[in-house]
């Protein structure tokens, strides 16, 4: 049985807000950053400098997301230089953050009250099926802290979970209209399922096997096909002093895409006929969505949410079959995931 504790943590909100102002990872959101700047005003020279120092910390190979999540839980900063930098970042950005906090914290309080008075019994019934699916055995009650963060979007929340922090979920929802409560439940369920999957002893191995057997050979074939083209592009870029264009944009790993499509077929806001929507939110008559028609993968290589949406919508039926019958994730299921992704990338 999972219980939720909904918290508003000012220091954690600061860390999230500060990193959202800089493009340090592939899912940086320009609209979100601009929303904050519209409230607090444009960045000063000193503020731009400290944000670049924060970016440098976050881009370190041995820190990145882990360093940021340590700020979310109030952990100590082991590196003395990073500790001093973080104190200076707090000092320089304090006034701007207070403007955001005064406006957004009241909205977070409203959502906290709504979520604290809601029941999650039916959601837990579904989690028991998810536990079986991922072969996870939770024998005792588990309490998950859900920290509520700022967000610009009025129509959809966002959520985050990380393997190293198995009792923490982040949900961004300050500006979300309360009429979208079902979307918050979907997001909460989605991130909880991530935490369940992280504990699975079998999913990683099965998905990896299906990836290397079905999808990787096709990707390797494509890379050989493009080898000579890329070589000549390299020469051209060097000669024209466009070396910066050589670097491929950051993006999610295939493991992330596989898991996101599986969990989105169970819960989330990408697919309206997901398992949660059908079983818990009483949306049983939703017609199955068909996103595959006219999707050109080559033209949409960086539209990851759209790709996940397409795959998840096609996984709903088999996911529903497995959950309803308490079946564990297996080779057949994972091969299906890889085959659907293969069909998508070949559509170019």
Give tens-digit pLDDT for 29-58: 999 999 999 999 999 999 999 999 999 999
Tell me: pLDDT of 181 over 50: yes
Q: Is residue 109 part of a domain?
A: no
Q: Are residues 148 and 6 in the same domain?
A: yes
Q: Are residues 181 and 238 in the same domain?
A: no
Q: Are residues 77 and 49 in the same domain?
A: yes
Tell me: pLDDT of 1 over 70: yes
pLDDT band at 131 (very low <50, low <70, confident <90, very high): very high
Cβ–Cβ contacts within 10 Å for residue 250, how many? 12
In the DSSP assignment, the letter for residue 65 is H
Q: SS3 for 90?
A: helix
pLDDT at 156: 95
Q: Of 152, 176, 198, which residue sits at a domain end?
A: 198
Q: Are residues 91 and 190 in the same domain?
A: yes
255 near 207, Cβ under 8 Å? Answer: yes
Domain span at 190 = 2-104+130-198
Q: Is residue 114 part of a domain?
A: no
Structural domain count of the chain: 2
pLDDT, averaged across the chain: 87
Tell me: pLDDT of 250 over 60: no
pLDDT at 225: 40
Q: Of 154, 173, 198, which residue sits at a domain end?
A: 198
The pair of three-digit structure tokens given for residue 31, joined into one six-digit string: 């609209």
Which residue, among 10, 91, 25, 11, has the nearest Cα to 57 in the 3D structure?
A: 25
**Between 244 and 205, the higher pLDDT residue:** 205
DSSP bridge partners of 158: 172
Tell me: pLDDT of 236 over 60: no
What is the Cα–Cα distance from 173 to 148, expressed in whole angstroms? 7
Q: Are residues 74 and 223 in the same domain?
A: no
Q: Are residues 19 and 140 in the same domain?
A: yes
Tell me: pLDDT of 115 over 80: yes
Q: Is residue 123 part of a domain?
A: no
Q: Of 165, 198, 231, which residue sits at a domain end?
A: 198
What is the Cα–Cα distance from 311 to 57, expressed in whole angstroms? 35
Tell me: pLDDT of 325 over 50: yes
Q: Are residues 223 and 174 in the same domain?
A: no
- 97-111, 151-165, 223-237, 317-331: the lowest-pLDDT one: 223-237
Which residue, among 263, 248, 41, has the nearest Cα to 160 in the 3D structure?
A: 263
Q: Are residues 272 and 255 in the same domain?
A: yes
Q: Is residue 46 part of a domain?
A: yes
The pair of three-digit structure tokens given for residue 12, joined into one six-digit string: 């954690």
What is the Cα–Cα distance from 27 to 311, expressed in whole angstroms? 19
Tell me: pLDDT of 174 over 50: yes
Tell me: pLDDT of 249 over 90: no
Q: Are residues 193 and 207 in the same domain?
A: no
Give tens-digit pLDDT for 287-298: 455 545 567 777
Tell me: pLDDT of 135 over 60: yes
pLDDT band at 222 (very low <50, low <70, confident <90, very high): low
Q: What percent of the chain has pLDDT over 90?
A: 73
What is the Cα–Cα distance from 89 to 50, expressed in whole angstroms? 6
By the 10 Å C-beta count (0-12 exposed, 13-18 middle, 19+ buried), 237 is classed as middle
pLDDT band at 252 (very low <50, low <70, confident <90, very high): confident
Tell me: pLDDT of 219 over 70: yes
Q: Are residues 179 and 160 in the same domain?
A: yes
Quote the Cα angle for 58-62-65, to 5°: 45
34 near 65, Cβ under 8 Å? Answer: no
The pair of three-digit structure tokens given for residue 9, joined into one six-digit string: 């943590």
Q: Is residue 19 part of a domain?
A: yes
pLDDT at 176: 97
Tell me: pLDDT of 336 over 60: yes
Q: Is residue 312 part of a domain?
A: yes
Q: Are residues 168 and 237 in the same domain?
A: no
Q: Are residues 160 and 33 in the same domain?
A: yes
Q: Is residue 308 part of a domain?
A: yes
Give tens-digit pLDDT for 58-91: 998 666 789 999 999 999 998 999 999 999 999 9
Q: Is residue 190 part of a domain?
A: yes
Across 134-143, average pLDDT: 85
Across 195-214, average pLDDT: 95
């Amino acid at each position: 049985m999972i219980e939720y504790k909904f918290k508003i943590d000012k220091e954690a909100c600061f860390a999230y807000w500060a990193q959202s102002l800089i493009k340090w990872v592939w899912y940086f959101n320009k609209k979100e950053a601009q929303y904050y700047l519209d409230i607090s005003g444009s960045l000063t020279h000193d503020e731009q400098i400290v944000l670049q120092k924060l970016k440098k910390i976050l881009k370190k190979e041995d820190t990145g997301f882990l360093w940021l999540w340590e700020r979310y839980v109030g952990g100590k900063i082991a590196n003395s230089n990073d500790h001093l930098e973080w104190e200076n970042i707090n000092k320089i950005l304090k006034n701007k953050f207070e403007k955001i906090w005064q406006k957004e914290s009241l909205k977070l309080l409203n959502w906290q009250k709504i979520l604290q008075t809601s029941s999650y019994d039916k959601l837990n019934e579904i989690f028991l099926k998810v536990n079986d699916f991922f072969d996870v055995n939770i024998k005792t009650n588990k309490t998950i802290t859900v920290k509520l963060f700022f967000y610009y979007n009025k129509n959809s929340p966002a959520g985050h979970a990380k393997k190293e922090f198995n009792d923490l979920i982040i949900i961004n929802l300050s500006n979300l209209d309360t009429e979208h409560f079902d979307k918050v439940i979907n997001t909460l369920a989605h991130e909880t399922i991530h935490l369940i999957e992280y504990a699975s002893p079998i999913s990683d191995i099965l998905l990896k096997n299906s990836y290397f057997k079905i999808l990787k050979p096709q990707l390797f074939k494509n890379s050989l096909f493009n080898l000579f083209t890329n070589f000549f592009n390299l020469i051209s870029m060097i000669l024209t002093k466009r070396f910066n264009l050589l670097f491929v944009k950051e993006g999610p790993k295939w493991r992330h895409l596989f898991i996101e499509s599986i969990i989105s077929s169970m819960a989330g806001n990408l697919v309206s006929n997901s398992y949660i929507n059908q079983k818990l939110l009483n949306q049983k008559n939703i017609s199955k969505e068909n996103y595959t028609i006219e999707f050109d993968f080559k033209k949409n290589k960086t539209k990851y949410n759209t790709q996940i949406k397409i795959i998840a919508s096609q996984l709903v039926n088999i996911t529903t079959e497995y959950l309803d019958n308490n079946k564990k994730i297996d080779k057949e299921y994972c091969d299906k995931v890889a085959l659907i992704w293969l069909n998508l990338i070949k559509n170019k």
